[in-house]
Amino acid sequence: MASLKLKTSIKRLFGEITIPGDKSISHRSVMFGSIAHGETKITNFLPGDDCLSTISCFRKLGVTIEEADNQIRIIGNGFEGLTEPNEVLDVGNSGTTIRLLMGILAGRPFFSTLVGDESIGKRPMTRVTGPLAKMGAKIDGRKDGAFTPISIRGGQLTPIQYKLPVASAQVKSALILAALQAEGESTIIEPAETRDHTERMIRKFGGEIDKDNQAITVKGGQNLTGATIHVPGDISSAAFFLVAGAIIPESEIVLKNVGLNPTRTGIIEVMKKMGADLEIIQKEDHSFEPVGDLIIKTSNLKATVVEGDLIPKLIDEIPIIALLATQAEGTTVIKDAEELKVKETNRIDTVVDELRKLGASIEATDDGMVIHGKTQLNGGSVSSHGDHRIGMMLSIAALLCRNNVELEQPEAISVSYPNFFAHLNNLIR
């Protein structure tokens, strides 16, 4: 797609939107449906490019997956039901697909090759290939298993006792999926708590997993049974509208159906600390993942420090938090976030470079960024760099700009939020 002229100088945002399905949970529901026995039905599935890559990979592994109107039906035949793919498995832009899939394929007695796009080709895989090789998988890739293409010949795995070197839900989940196929009990220790959708989903599919502080214990040889999953809205998608509502004058936005898993709600904590006028209407928790509605109004914001164990609970929200900080009084510091460098883009660089083009006062540090507020944003030509969250953050930033804003590579947004612009346009008054 050519560049997109973004809406600027918006007076007000007002109305209600229903947030689309959570990306992390959508991926996992397809994966668990594929390795469980029997039928799995998924509603409110996110039809974003990343989750469609997951479906395509599991179809190539021989799983029957029907798809219509954001509803998915899967017939699983257990781990044993997966068959050697005739083709290369292409994960597109999706880190969650490739990393979790490696954990599943590590225990399967056949050969497969995993590839992805240019961004995936730069993302570190040793954090997964290393421990999976220790468990006994024959796994390799470019630069000694560090980068795609990755090849795997799986087989019988031995359990692992492993302390993760980085707080990463993708690495933790890959090891849990491998541990489910190992002979015996594995223990995985996280340095800080990360999103726990995999753990919740194992229980939902009838399996067992124990958690004692940050130590997770999982037994091999478990049989999982198909389940009915309703995917809650993605708080990482809601985050763009939470920030938009807080920074655009005279706004009020109701966000319906937002997943409120406490391992994901760091953005709410930070916004509250910054003084946001944010109301949470928590629904009764009947489902396996807590859900609620959020109401955000224009807010008087003050700077804050975002650091430490909070970082994994808002890692994907840092680009939009950086924009929020440009509209807060004082200097906001984001630290302990070096993981940003290995996301879809180096998000320290892309956030700092692109927000500067619009007139923000922001500097990169080794492990985060420093933002001085409050600044008037002007306008200019910016790029998503092929990163969905950078594209959405810049589209929200443009609303405040007094001059024109052109966004290069807007199509990246469909990775996690295909109807983002439709939702945004509905709110513009």
| Residues in binding site for phosphoenolpyruvate | 23, 95, 123, 170, 347, 389
Side by side, the strands of the sheet bearing 368-373 are: 305-306, 330-334, 368-373, 361-365
* 367 carries an active-site annotation: no
Of 37 and 195, nearer to ligand S3P (C-beta) is 195
Q: What is the residue whose two structure tokens read 């969250």?
A: 389
Does residue 170 bind ligand S3P (CB under 6 A)? yes
Of 358 and 369, nearer to ligand S3P (C-beta) is 369
**And the tokens for 205?**
């599919």
Of 168 and 326, nearer to ligand S3P (C-beta) is 168
- CA 122/CA 109 separation, integer angstroms: 28
Does residue 178 bind ligand S3P (CB under 6 A)? no
Residue 48: CA atoms inside 13 Å, Cβ hemisphere, count? Answer: 30
Binds ligand S3P by CB under 6 A, chosen from 112, 119, 173, 299: 173
- CA 107/CA 179 separation, integer angstroms: 9
Coil vs helix vs strand at 90? strand
> In the bound complex, what is the minimum distance in angstroms from residue 247's beta carbon to ligand S3P?
23
**What is the 3-state composition of the chain as percent helix, strand, coil, each rounded to the nearest 5?**
35, 30, 35
Contact flags string 27-56 toward ligand S3P, x per CB under 6 A: ------------------------------
> In the bound complex, what is the minimum distance in angstroms from residue 180's beta carbon to ligand S3P?
16
Q: In which region does residue 359 sit, left (phi positive, over 0), alpha (psi from -120 to 50) or beta (all else)?
A: left
- CA 325/CA 358 separation, integer angstroms: 14
Does residue 304 bind ligand S3P (CB under 6 A)? no
Does residue 102 bind ligand S3P (CB under 6 A)? no
Of 24 and 326, nearer to ligand S3P (C-beta) is 24
Catalytic: which of 234, 293, 316, 387?
316
**Rg of the chain's alpha carbons, rounded to an integer?**
21
Binds ligand S3P by CB under 6 A, chosen from 67, 338, 339, 406: 339
Does residue 289 bind ligand S3P (CB under 6 A)? no
Coil vs helix vs strand at 243? helix
**And the tokens for 27?**
């991926």
> In the bound complex, what is the minimum distance in angstroms from residue 322's beta carbon to ligand S3P?
16
- Please, are residues 253 and 15 in contact by the beta-carbon 8 Å criterion? yes
> In the bound complex, what is the minimum distance in angstroms from residue 344's beta carbon to ligand S3P?
8
> In the bound complex, what is the minimum distance in angstroms from residue 339's beta carbon to ligand S3P?
6
Of 150 and 169, nearer to ligand S3P (C-beta) is 169
Burial of 67 (0-12, 13-18, 19+ CB in 10 A): middle
Instruction: List the alpha helices (DSSP H) in 159-254.
Output: 169-179, 197-204, 235-247
Does residue 317 bind ligand S3P (CB under 6 A)? no
Does residue 315 bind ligand S3P (CB under 6 A)? yes
- Please, are residues 296 and 246 in contact by the beta-carbon 8 Å criterion? yes
Binds ligand S3P by CB under 6 A, chosen from 168, 251, 265, 345: 168
Of 48 and 359, nearer to ligand S3P (C-beta) is 48
**And the tokens for 190?**
């996280």
Helix (H) or strand (E) holding 149, with range, is strand 147-153
Total of residues contacting ligand S3P (CB under 6 A): 10
Does residue 93 bind ligand S3P (CB under 6 A)? no
Does residue 169 bind ligand S3P (CB under 6 A)? yes
> Taking Cα atoms as reference points, which of 94, 96, 162, 165 lies closest to residue 133?
162
Does residue 195 bind ligand S3P (CB under 6 A)? yes
> In the bound complex, what is the minimum distance in angstroms from residue 361's beta carbon to ligand S3P?
26
Interface residues toward ligand S3P, by CB under 6 A? 24, 96, 168-170, 173, 195, 315-316, 339
Active site (catalytic) residues: 316
